[in-house]
Amino acid sequence: MSGSEAAFEQDVVWCDEHIGYRFRDPALLRLALTHRSTDHSDKPDMPLTASGAVQHNERLEFLGDAVLDLVISDALFHSRPDDDEGSLSAFRSGLVNTRALSHLAVGLDLGPRLRMGKGEEQSGGRNKTSILGNALEAVFGAIYLDGGYEAVSEVIFRLFKTRMDEEGPHPSRENRKSRLQEYLQSRGLPLPKYEVIATDGPPHARIFRVRCLVPDQEPVEGEGGSKRQAEQRAAGSLLQALEAGGAFDDQHP
């Protein structure tokens, strides 16, 4: 087996183990993992367009973006019958924005699987938020073409279920980090900073303790089963204290 064939097989194994999907046409997965910076001299095994350029993942990203929006919208529509259009849109945007997708891609160890040009790789392309998020969308697009809507919806729902559950029943009211940020911004104050101060428990049941810091205020801590959940709880506690005490209002009417 050649080096390129071995890498190709490793991609299939990675997707099976991390994404939970086995491609019938692995060429779709290879395309999804190919960044536009790749050229033929970097990866001579890659398929070419009619113009001689290496095929890359942007068309699959376009498709995957639409598929992801549909799957998440479908899930939210049926799981949150009491939410209005505004709440559903806010929830969806919090789940599928570029930063959230990039964070998920890091957890799936997607970066090392990407094919890209030497210049892009040397500039840290494997860790760039936009590249990781776009590549994950391309993978979703490839799964849709390979297995159809049912297959990709199962994958997406499984990958996003934890985040959907963490948001709570009413994200428009419960996004405490956003509410704290809005409170501070409306008074022309610096945004809060969050730092992890402790991580306890076994790998399958981690407990994170996070400190929320705002100038001229006592630090507030929060705990949760994820860093994000702990940040939300710390932000909520600080926001409650600020709103109850009317902090900053005398200095910033």
The mean-pLDDT minimum among 61-65, 168-172, 231-235, 245-249 falls in 168-172
Q: Reduced to 3 states, what is the DSSP secondary structure of residue 42?
A: coil
Beta carbons of 217 and 234 less than 8 angstroms apart: no
Residue 54 pLDDT level (bands cut at 50, 70, 90) = low
The token pair that represents 214 in the structure block: 């705002």
Beta carbons of 194 and 234 less than 8 angstroms apart: yes
> pLDDT value at position 153?
96
The mean-pLDDT minimum among 1-10, 42-51, 207-216 falls in 42-51
137 is catalytic: yes
From CA 162, how far away is CA 246, in angstroms rounded? 35
The mean-pLDDT minimum among 59-73, 82-96, 207-221 falls in 82-96
Q: Tell me the CATH class for 175-245.
A: alpha beta
Q: Tell me the CATH class for 3-168.
A: mainly alpha
Beta carbons of 131 and 117 less than 8 angstroms apart: no
- Choosing from 65, 83, 167, 231, the catalytic residue is 65
> pLDDT value at position 124?
86
174 is catalytic: no
> pLDDT value at position 4?
56
- Choosing from 11, 83, 120, 137, the catalytic residue is 137
Indicate if the pLDDT at residue 63 is higher than 90: yes
φ and ψ at 222, to 5 degrees? -145, 150
pLDDT digit string, tens, across residues 144-187: 999 999 999 999 999 998 777 765 544 444 578 888 888 888 88
From CA 248, how far away is CA 253, in angstroms rounded? 8
Domain boundaries, the chain: 3-168, 175-245
Indicate if the pLDDT at residue 212 is higher than 70: yes
> pLDDT value at position 144?
97
| Other beta carbons within 10 Å of 68 | 23
What mean pLDDT do residues 101-109 have?
91
